[in-house]
Structure 1
């Protein structure tokens, strides 16, 4: 079974093709957020390199957020269009779960953090148990300092991943001394191969959906919506 996975929830644009045994191919561009221009060429180049046509893909995986509102819409629209054309099922995967999946069988807790602006982060808490990634805390938008307070009672280590590390990593280390580890750059950023592997697992569990039933997971209103509400 072949799954094509996409993620444009952050500055990273990434696509991967996976099956049960391997990552067949993966492309990652971590430079400037112009996904509307980059994503289709990435997909086309990837499929050409691995000599696979859209009609040969069995399912599509896509990042549903949280993350950049515009980025999520681009990835979602692209994945839905491909699923519709190929008449194949889709699976939506949390950005935060996919980031945690970058660190298979890690000891301790995995804490993905994404910069949500306004001194907030998108975050959650995950852990590997019996070769399964489970959520210890649900995905949420929360103030960075408030989240740090919640983590103080957690056992060490806590591994940080995600683009929020650049902005908030030092704050976490300062306030959670001895508990925090920061994942290295190759596994700190989104990887479509993780989304693809999770999507493949969900398909095998009978949890695939029709493309019309997949929607973004924003976790909070956009700034424009907030401004409109506050008028």
Structure 2
């Protein structure tokens, strides 16, 4: 199953294509300022990298946010248009779920963190299940970093997402050694991650 994954909800936009479990192409672009002008060229780039045309895709997965309101709107609009043109299924993936799923196996809690501006973040807490997959422990939230840290227990927590760039020092100052941070190559959402979660939903008989 060939799935195109699209993220424009975060500032580091990602587009990727998978064929079942194989990654065919991945492209990162700056979605922060003008996502509408950059998205379609970015999609064309990954299609060219994978040597595919739109008709070769079976489905498109798109990040639903939280994140940039403009970015989410642009992504959904573009994916809807591509779906109508190509006749493929569309599935939506919560952005925080996708970020959390990028981490390697860890016994620590996982906290994807997206900068919401004005001194707040979008966040949720997760843990990895022993049999695989993630369990979300909190609702999706928008709150101050201080309010988020007040929810954390004595467990070590891995933080991932663009919010780390803004609030990493603040978090480290409050949690000390209990604050862990995803490596830079996993910190920003990849299109292939969105595509992989989308493929899983489709195999379970779900689509939007």
Q: Place the TM-score, normalised by the shorter chain, in its bin.
A: over 0.9
Which residue of structure 2 lines up, in the alignment, with residue 71 of structure 1?
A: 71
Please state how far the C-alpha of 1:47 moved relative to its aligned partner. 0.8
Rounded to whole Å, the distance in 2 between the matches of 1:76 and 1:31 is 14
| Equivalent residues of 2:59, 2:90 under 8 A apart | yes
Query: How large is the RMSD of aligned CA atoms in angstroms?
Result: 1.4
Alpha-carbon distance between aligned partners in 1 of 2:154 and 2:126, rounded to the nearest angstrom: 12
Structure 2: runs of 5+ lacking an equivalent: none
What's the counterpart of residue 40 of structure 1?
40
May I ask how many residue pairs the two structures share in their alignment? 207
Q: Determine if contact 1:15/1:27 at 8 Å carries over to the other structure.
A: yes
| Counterpart in the other structure of 1:199 | 198
Q: Distance in 2 between matches of 1:207 and 1:106?
A: 28
More displaced stretch, 55-64 vs 8-17: 8-17
Partner of 1:111: 111
TM-score (norm: length of structure 2): 0.94
| Residue ranges of structure 1 left out of the alignment (5+ in a row) | 210-231
**Which residue is 1:213 aligned to?**
none
Report how far residue 43 of structure 1 moved.
0.8
Contact 1:110 1:160 in 2 (8 A): yes
Residue 142 of structure 1 pairs with residue 143 of structure 2: yes
Q: How does 1:18-97 map to 2 (within 5 A)?
A: 18-30=18-30, 33-97=33-97
TM-score by length of 1: 0.85
Q: Tell me, what secondary structure is at the counterpart of 1:5? A: strand
Q: Distance in 2 between matches of 1:11 and 1:185?
A: 14
1:167 counterpart residue number? 166
